């Protein structure tokens, strides 16, 4: 349904370091860096971090959560661990969620405050 999701940053080098680590834990690779943006992905939609083109400071969208698919629970755990090591904050430790059977997820906020989740539906 989506071609990409974009979030803003006020410190692109810091965002690159953060996302290179946490998205690698989920199997997403850095597909390129430009002067004002970087993008990650795999076979499907892309995730983009950029400095706002209007020159104003980036800010967090209230109610926005970007969800990343994880292959398994270990990948969710690794995503969460790396996020905390790279300056992210915990917004929901890895564990089962009551939104459906076998939904395992972890929520974090990136260094700019954007809320992210990695999740999988798996019996192991």
| Domain extents in the chain | 4-52+65-121
Beta strands 46-50 and 89-96, pairing class: unpaired
Angle at 65 between CA 83 and CA 68, to 5 degrees: 60
Q: Tokens 């564990």 appear where?
A: 95
**Helical H runs in 1-124?**
12-24, 73-85
pLDDT tens column, 14-73: 999 999 999 999 999 999 999 999 999 988 899 999 999 999 999 998 889 999 999 999
Question: What is the pTM assigned to this prediction?
Answer: 0.89
pLDDT band at 118 (very low <50, low <70, confident <90, very high): very high
4-52+65-121 is classed in which CATH architecture? Roll (3.10)
Q: Please give the share of the chain, as a percent, with pLDDT higher than 70.
A: 98
């Amino acid at each position: 349904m989506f071609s990409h999701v974009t979030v803003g940053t006020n410190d692109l080098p810091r965002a690159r370091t953060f996302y290179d680590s946490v998205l690698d834990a989920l199997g997403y690779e850095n597909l390129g860096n430009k002067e004002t943006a970087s993008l990650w992905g795999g076979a499907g939609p892309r995730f983009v971090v950029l400095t706002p083109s209007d020159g104003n400071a980036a800010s967090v969208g209230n109610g926005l959560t970007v969800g990343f698919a994880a292959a398994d629970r270990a990948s969710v755990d690794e995503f969460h661990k790396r996020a905390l090591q790279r300056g992210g904050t915990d917004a929901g430790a890895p564990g089962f969620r009551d939104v459906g059977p076998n939904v395992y997820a972890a929520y974090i906020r990136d260094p700019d405050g954007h809320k992210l989740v990695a999740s999988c539906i798996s019996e192991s």
